[in-house]
Amino acid sequence: MYDTNMENLGKKIKYFRKSKNISAEELGRIIGKSKTTINRYESSEILPDILTILEICNALNIDLNNICDICLHDIEKNSNINPFNSNLLYLYYISKNGIIISSIEITETKNTNYVLMKNGLTSKSYKQEYSGVLESNYNTAFICLTNAISNPGLDKFQIEIDLHSKIDNMYYGMFLGISDNTHKPTARKCILTNKLITSIEKLCLLFEELKISKEDSQDMLETKYWDMKTKKIKDYVINVNN
């Protein structure tokens, strides 16, 4: 059965509009409504008729079930959304005593978001290519990758990004893979952004942010694992002045 709760419908329209990086004014223009009317739909002040709902689905390139499903939590079932509003991202993580920069290229299709990762970018080239898929729910984005050319020693990565951690257009998360030296499992902090950072000064600041802090270590000892606390950003964003 379809969910007829007005509040859920409005929240879903707003969620998918923002995920597509479309303004309320632009959505209104596409379907022949004013920005004010779109805002009233999203705030559940008024309920759009079925034809308008179908026009909204067409404008947002989503299925009717995406906004008229059983309950609000079904938003999390749509794992095919690219939550970053960009098809080209850059990943930063620490390796040895420096930073590895990788590009993340996303190709969106109806059923799957395909990812091509070029790992170890330099001014002239990159080290290796990895291919895989991007999936997401309301809280977390998962990027699962494998060596695109060969597969030595099960050369695979998983990147887990906290979608609520966005600060200055940067997302924070964990990079799960293998070490450069021992080829054994490792977990590292990572930062994902849509900007390529190349200046040494800014990379040094990133390096400090990506270090495991004393607070991280203490948290691991107390909880037996490390968890990014989105309500306490200071717990995982390192003060570079220390």
Asked whether residue 183 falls in the same domain as residue 138, the answer is yes
Burial class of 85 by CB neighbour count within 10 A (0 to 12, 13 to 18, 19+): exposed
Q: What is the DSSP letter of 229?
A: -
| Beta carbons of 115 and 131 less than 8 angstroms apart | yes
CATH assignment of the domain containing 215? 2.40.128.120
Average pLDDT over residues 131-138: 89
169-186 pLDDT, tens digit per residue, is: 899 999 998 876 777 888
Report if residue 82 sits inside a domain. no
Asked whether residue 68 falls in the same domain as residue 128, the answer is no
Going by pLDDT thresholds of 50, 70 and 90, the confidence category of residue 34 is very high
Three-state DSSP at 193 gives strand
| Residue span of the structural domain in which 159 resides | 88-235
Asked whether residue 43 falls in the same domain as residue 105, the answer is no
d(CA 60, CA 69): 16
Q: What pLDDT score does 193 carry?
A: 95
48-97 pLDDT, tens digit per residue, is: 988 999 999 999 888 787 777 544 344 444 567 899 989 999 999 998 78
Asked whether residue 145 falls in the same domain as residue 165, the answer is yes
d(CA 61, CA 234): 38
Burial class of 79 by CB neighbour count within 10 A (0 to 12, 13 to 18, 19+): middle
Average pLDDT over residues 19-27: 90
Asked whether residue 59 falls in the same domain as residue 153, the answer is no
Asked whether residue 106 falls in the same domain as residue 219, the answer is yes
This prediction's pTM: 0.62
d(CA 13, CA 116): 30
Query: What total number of domains does the chain contain?
Result: 2
Report if residue 120 sits inside a domain. yes
Q: What pLDDT score does 200 carry?
A: 92
Domain edge (last residue) among 20, 52, 77: 77
CATH assignment of the domain containing 24? 1.10.260.40
Asked whether residue 104 falls in the same domain as residue 222, the answer is yes
